[in-house]
A and B are shown apart, each in its own frame.
Chain A
């Protein structure tokens, strides 16, 4: 064994000590010959004859040296090394080809690695929590309902505690308050006052998810009891930003909303909880959820369960059904309207992204296929020009396997270099995506170029080498062709016909795939355009939401009205009003029923989104008042209840009749009359249709604790903020004014993941069309170069330039039409798969196919015209002389 090991070490070393070892062996051989010759002369031989005999006895000197090298070194590896360096030399010689090929490869492989990383991060990899496969999402309401507004799917604290007691399949159920992030707090103390976001989590949640503090501790049971002293955990970014990463912050007291709060810990830089549950939101602090305080607030907690080992989702589902039945039986006086549905946490978080990401993955795969076809075509063309070289090498004794191997190595050199570049491209893209904090894709900030992505890249390049290399190698290494190649002068079109047929097929496939991508991209782009044109029920342009959070308890309406009066007086402000619920960002629902005077028992309850607002909101938002009037000063605290409802609710209660003046009851404790009807507002963003909505006056309901001032102004945000600071600081010295956000940005955020998808698919389609044009150009210009002589003859015989051009362009178009025919057929099928991602456009829409066809044909025209013009300028005399 030792001898074996020593031998291999020596062989590897021999590879690197080649010149020295060769020289040593040379002198050893010289000595051998000399000695032998002198011995033979001593035996009486003539010197010449002796030298000849000595050489014969030794065998051929060169073969001997070769044998020596092979026995002492690693002949196979050295061979590979030689092929590699030859491959590099070939690439260096053909720089134009190499540049195009590398560019194409870098794009194809870079995009695929990026998309794989995205898919891997969001779909394939488990969520970065401990026992992620055992975590489930428990939600209220009807699972089949289309709208998943938060009030509908959150649960009551009672439900949570009941499930905890009765469930057998779940080891642990923890909760957080999803509404808490909608509220803002005022962080004061050293430095400018700041608006921060905080999430209430049950004390055991972080422990169950496996979130560990960077410094300090997590919450303990005593932090979650009623009236416990305020304690918070800081997010890493707040700690860095505001406290300069000072570890002594733990244990210190900071001022939030004017009260003292103790910092007990700091989370690590990767805030997995927020990146999963609140993507694109910057959460600053976490506080402990108090069951007793949240008990009477309605549906306010989101539940996450940790299943026992081996419990399946179906088992948990039926177990929770039993639990719900048991709770209802034991506590008949509790609200009976609740459910406990369950799906795996991963499905909940990433389910809606499954289809778009899968589609993206397929699209990236198509781009890679086009890249491969293109590269295969380029290699074939390049191979054609090297046929004679290869034939010569064959004639000189290189075996077929040897030549095939060398061609594959060359392809490998190319692809390996391309893969390296592609890796760089992917790294850039991934970095770019990971810092898009405004894109609402869960876990996006965990996106990085990791080992699995790199292995995927290596796999891709191996596939590329195999698929691009195999065809030319098979075509070129056929020994039967050698004789023909040496004789073939490349005259006329006879020589390259077979090869150009293969290339034509490749190009047709490229055009077909590009067509599929172009049609799909068209559908998605039009969906996005349709969404951007959707009437939201308000005009987000020139509209700014300014967060105003009054400090302390007690009625706020005087404070709020004072602020409004000051802001309205500012120059450049068209309208200003207050709402507790910015559309698109926030939602919550209350119950309402129309009062039936004849039968008070007849309470047809329905849920509606509730906004508590000041007067002037509709004017500021640009929401149309359809009937009745807006709130005004007469709707004071003691005046009769006034309610404004939207058209959807009006139509539901009183279809075809006037709603104004009707009596309704909100939540069973706020009777009032409908004073106005306004247009529907898309409260969940453009993609989700409006629901029922109602508006109450902030003078009549003391419920809101967090407000947004909606300001219609043409002033830029910075100027607006400065103006607001000047007039509001005298009223409220610690008002932060750090959350001043254009409404358009909020609307855009709801479309952010779709926009990203459209950009990516659109980019893919553009690249695909470009590559297929490049492929067409390659085939046609190769064909032209092969037919130079033929063209020369025809021109010498009197064909004019335009005839030659027409002929070549027609050939290009023939290929393009073939590709389009296949492509349109495939796109027709693919479009159906896209259906669920489309908005306001049918997958069969003919305009789309027309535009895609037009774009591809235009590209084909250019791809054909350039070589055609080139050909028509051929000088017959020169053409006939070329070889």
Chain B
């Protein structure tokens, strides 16, 4: 495992799944996993299977809904779609995330500045 890849923080996977579904519309599990991998590029390690644990959690909390449909290559696949509750949660969580990451940023910047002087 290469050193410059990072593990996903607990709970952030849910956020990523919701964001993906918001951007891309209804998708199946494989599609979501691939999409996150593509966007994350070489930086994120994604164990594709963990997507499904996140999906079942979100579905049980009614953040997303699921329906069996037909995939692009004509196979039966389970498609997930974000719900109104999911969108609301995404907004809240995104704000939350940005606030936290902003704070972390500022602290780290200050620490880096001190180290430089």
The interface of chain A, by Cβ under 8 A from chain B, is 2-4, 6-7, 10-11, 14, 24-25, 27-29, 31-32, 34-36, 38-39, 57-60, 63-64, 67-68, 71-72
Chain A residues near B71: list those with CB within 8 A.
Answer: 31, 35
- Given the interface pairs A31-B78, A67-B49, the reply to whether A6 lies near B73 with Cβ below 8 Å is no
Interface segment, one of B15-23, B60-68, B95-103: B60-68
Please determine whether A67 and B53 come into contact, CB atoms closer than 8 angstroms.
yes
Contacts A3-B62, A35-B73, A72-B56 hold; do A59 and B50 have CB atoms under 8 A apart? yes
Tell me whether A68 and B52 are in contact in the complex, defined as CB-CB below 8 angstroms, given that A31-B28, A35-B30 are known contacts. yes
Docked Cα-Cα span, A79 to B59, in Å, equals 24
Q: Is B85 positioned at the interface, with any CB of A under 8 Å from its CB?
A: yes
B107 to chain A, nearest CB (A): 31
Chain B hits for A6, CB < 8 A: 60-62
Contact B76 A72 (CB under 8 A): no
Tell me the complex Cα distance, A72–B66, Å. 15
Residues of A close to B77: CB separation below 8 A:
28, 31, 35
Q: A3-B85, A27-B76, A34-B75 are in contact. Are A64 and B52 (CB under 8 A)?
A: yes
- Contact indicator B49/A59 (Cβ below 8 Å): yes
Please, what's the 1-or-0 string for B93-113, where 1 marks a CB less than 8 Å from any CB in chain A? 000000000000000000000
Between-chain CB contacts (< 8 Å), 26 pairs = A3-B63, A3-B89, A4-B61, A6-B61, A7-B57, A7-B60, A25-B52, A27-B76, A28-B28, A28-B77, A28-B78, A31-B30, A31-B75, A31-B77, A35-B30, A35-B75, A35-B77, A38-B73, A39-B34, A58-B47, A59-B49, A59-B50, A63-B49, A64-B49, A67-B49, A68-B56
Instruction: Kindly count the residue-residue contacts between A and B in the assembled complex, taking CB atoms under 8 Å apart.
Output: 78
Q: Once bound together, how far apart are the Cα atoms of A31 and B79, in whole Å? A: 11
Q: How far is the CA of A38 from the CA of B61 in the complex (A)?
A: 33
Label chain A's interface by main secondary structure: helix
Complex Cα–Cα for A38 and B34 (A): 13
**Is B12 an interface position by the 8 A CB rule?**
no
**Which residues from chain A contact B30 at a C-beta distance below 8 Å?**
31-32, 35-36
Query: Complex: how many Å from CA A28 to CA B29?
Result: 8
The number of chain B residues touching the other chain, given as a range, is 20 to 34
- Bound together, the chains give a CA A32 to CA B29 distance in angstroms of 7
Q: Are A3 and B61 in touch, CB under 8 angstroms?
A: yes
Beyond A6-B62, A35-B73: 20 further Cβ-contacts under 8 Å?
A3-B61, A3-B85, A7-B60, A11-B60, A24-B78, A28-B78, A29-B52, A31-B29, A35-B28, A35-B30, A35-B71, A36-B48, A39-B34, A58-B49, A59-B49, A67-B50, A67-B52, A68-B52, A68-B56, A71-B56
Q: Are A57 and B48 in contact (CB under 8 A)?
A: yes
B113 to chain A, nearest CB (A): 41
- Most chain A Cβ neighbours within 10 Å, of B34, B56, B73, B78: B56
Does A59 lie within 8 Å of B60, measured CB to CB?
no
How far is it, in angstroms, between the C-alpha of A67 and the C-alpha of B55 when the chains are bound? 12
In the bound complex, do residue B53 and residue A71 qualify as a contact, i.e. CB atoms below 8 Å apart?
Answer: yes
- Nearest-Cβ distance from residue B91 to partner chain A, whole angstroms: 14
Residue of A nearest to B86 (CB): A3
**Which 3 residue pairs are nearest across A and B when measured between Cβ atoms?**
A10-B60, A3-B61, A64-B49
* Nearest chain B residue, comparing its CB with the CB of A9: B60
**Closest Cβ–Cβ distance, residue A467 to chain B (whole Å):** 41
Complex formed: what's the CA distance from A11 to B62 in Å?
12
Closest to B52 in A: A68
Nearest chain-A residue to B88 (Cβ)? A3
Q: Which residue of A lies closest to B63 (CB)?
A: A3
